[in-house]
Structure 1
């Protein structure tokens, strides 16, 4: 096919898995980064072209111009696939402009950002009958009294704009155990110019976290879907998946599919849920609107999201599919899982025996591939360099 696939952000395993999912099907995969350092995803044998663009933060207009200039030089419009939240935000801001040059699933400016924004997402979910954790907004009257009466301590202080918060604090949220810690967390957020909300912690260990991973066609109908269950995440308790298994849960589809369709969503989305350990109710936690951390797992169990996206946008609608059985296969990001395991054992949330027993499952590796090993060696060099600089 003449249409290339332009992948934004290949210095992480999400970009790597996207390149592999496309390249293995003969698609010309173009890796775009703002530096050649640490972009180990671009070292994949399935990467056909490597480009260094202006930094999307330092010079946003130059970055967009770079993308447009590249597309102008192609014989057919490329498919644009952002693999990091920051790239998604930039694409959303310039969506109408970029759609003149690229094939992109969404056609409504702001739709990406609305589902990424925790406060807007909370409102949209509530309006559509989807349960979300009880929330108190900072500007509400009797704020502290509501936190202590409705949410109770401990609770979490979450950003409305997660990428900016993570970039500043290197964590997804603040956990607070009392009013003094809450005041401190609010002040830190205010000083950083970041808006936050305060939410109740849904009871349950990390294995009560689930995902609904879905592809919606250009008519905003779910055509392909898989559900998964987290086992471990990093940072522990409130982090990203590092050991997650495919697990069929029909209820997640029953909740998630109607919600995404009502949002008029197009393309891929992943809804994260938490199951209340006391009531069994599923609560919507967040929506990931770019290729997921679990992409290599989804591919292994039969749902190739980057390729589905590419095929539909270039004129071949995907065949519907739903995985309604358990494969026992898990996604494994070994490096951060080792750090997570240390944390779980130190806090006595898991025993060594429980961890060892869990490891004997067929894997979908985040980085390693016997047929495409070079990115893993690039990742190893990067990690080794970081460790040496710290010592």
Structure 2
């Protein structure tokens, strides 16, 4: 296997899981980050090489040139795997020139961005007959009247461009309970120069969130897939998976596979659905066009997505596979799940007993691996460092108040 795998972003556990998934098969993995600080994923024994690049946002041209220069020095074109939405956006913006140097599943420039863009996705889903939450755009006539009669409160203010919104506000959405809160949220995003839409909240607890995870080959046909059910997320109610289990839901395949194949998608992607607690209907919430947060779960149930990607792009595709049974295995990101549990219990959404009983399932860990402990130890050091700084600041502030 002469083709290296270049992984963009190892300061988060998605990059770590990609490195492990490829490294176990002896593939040369290259971790690329703009800094070596907090890149605990690169501490894995399966990381073959670590590179420091220009900052992907502060100097995008230099970052792209860096990637092209690295690939031009290799004997075979590397496989390029982004592990963060912003990396995906950059690849999409420079797809043609990067495909001259790298193996990348997607061939249609702009498709990644259209699926990540919440407004474009909403229109595309409706065009393909996929149910989406009722949505009002800020520039529509009789905006507040429509909110009152169609959307109703509480509702969510959702960004069109999620990565930029999250970077600015450190949250995925604004939940508003009345007109005053909505006006305040709209003022904030206007000041930040961001676009948003307003959506109805589909009724149901967080365990009504489901996913369809699929790999589509270069003919845009689903070859590998599974479905999963979220149990807890952080931040609670509108966050990322922290405790998610594989759950076979064939209806999601019927919806998801048809959608992805009709838009001619290639590579791995994930649709997040919410099941309406009152009607049972599944609504498309968003699409992730990079490796999912719970990639370690997919690996444990038998779908090694990074390796599936690598093998197809290097000309030796694996046999198709679907997980059409319940395995009872869950993904667990322990640190953030503890934070989530505290909030679920505080708000009365879960009891301690319910949480305790849920923990006795076989697990795929976000970071911990007995055979590869260095990343977890590095991550623990990062967390302890943050705690120490916070405590030190508090003590320092108390000292100033004496």
Q: TM-score range by the shorter chain?
A: over 0.9
State the partner residue of 2:12.
Answer: 12
Q: CA deviation at 1:318?
A: 2.3
State the partner residue of 1:228.
Answer: 228
Task: Report matched runs for 1:187-198 at 5 Å.
Answer: 187-198=187-198
Root-mean-square deviation over aligned CA pairs: 0.4
Mapped to 2, the partners of 1:56 and 1:341 lie a distance apart of 34
Task: Report matched runs for 1:10-159 at 5 Å.
Answer: 10-159=10-159
Q: CA deviation at 1:253?
A: 0.2
Q: In the alignment, does 2:305 pair up with 1:291?
A: no
Mapped to 2, the partners of 1:73 and 1:284 lie a distance apart of 42
Q: CA deviation at 1:317?
A: 1.8
Secondary structure of the equivalent of 1:379? helix
Secondary structure of the equivalent of 1:47? coil
- The one-character-per-residue Cα deviations of 1:12-65 (angstroms, maximum 9, x if unpaired) are 000000000000011100000000000000000000000000000111010001
- The one-character-per-residue Cα deviations of 1:111-151 (angstroms, maximum 9, x if unpaired) are 11000000000000000100000000000000000011001
Q: Structure 2: 5+ residue runs without aligned partners?
A: 392-402
Task: Report matched runs for 1:336-351 at 5 Å.
Answer: 336-351=336-351
Q: In the alignment, does 2:261 pair up with 1:261?
A: yes
State the partner residue of 2:360.
Answer: 360
Mapped to 2, the partners of 1:385 and 1:290 lie a distance apart of 30
TM-score between both structures, scaled by the size of structure 2: 0.97
State the partner residue of 2:320.
Answer: 320
Task: Report matched runs for 1:167-246 at 5 Å.
Answer: 167-246=167-246
Secondary structure of the equivalent of 2:144? helix
TM-score between both structures, scaled by the size of structure 1: 1.00
Q: CA deviation at 1:379?
A: 0.3
Mapped to 2, the partners of 1:89 and 1:187 lie a distance apart of 26
Q: CA deviation at 1:388?
A: 1.1
Mapped to 2, the partners of 1:389 and 1:34 lie a distance apart of 23
- The one-character-per-residue Cα deviations of 1:268-315 (angstroms, maximum 9, x if unpaired) are 000000000000000000000000001000000000000000000000
State the partner residue of 2:400.
Answer: none
Mapped to 1, the partners of 2:318 and 2:55 lie a distance apart of 34
Q: In the alignment, does 2:280 pair up with 1:273?
A: no
Mapped to 2, the partners of 1:385 and 1:90 lie a distance apart of 32
Which 4+ stretches in 1 moved above 6 angstroms?
none
Q: CA deviation at 1:171?
A: 0.2
Mapped to 2, the partners of 1:192 and 1:309 lie a distance apart of 37
Aligned residue pair count:
391
- The one-character-per-residue Cα deviations of 1:291-347 (angstroms, maximum 9, x if unpaired) are 000100000000000000000000012211111100000000000000000000000
- The one-character-per-residue Cα deviations of 1:195-237 (angstroms, maximum 9, x if unpaired) are 0000000000000000000000000000000000000000000
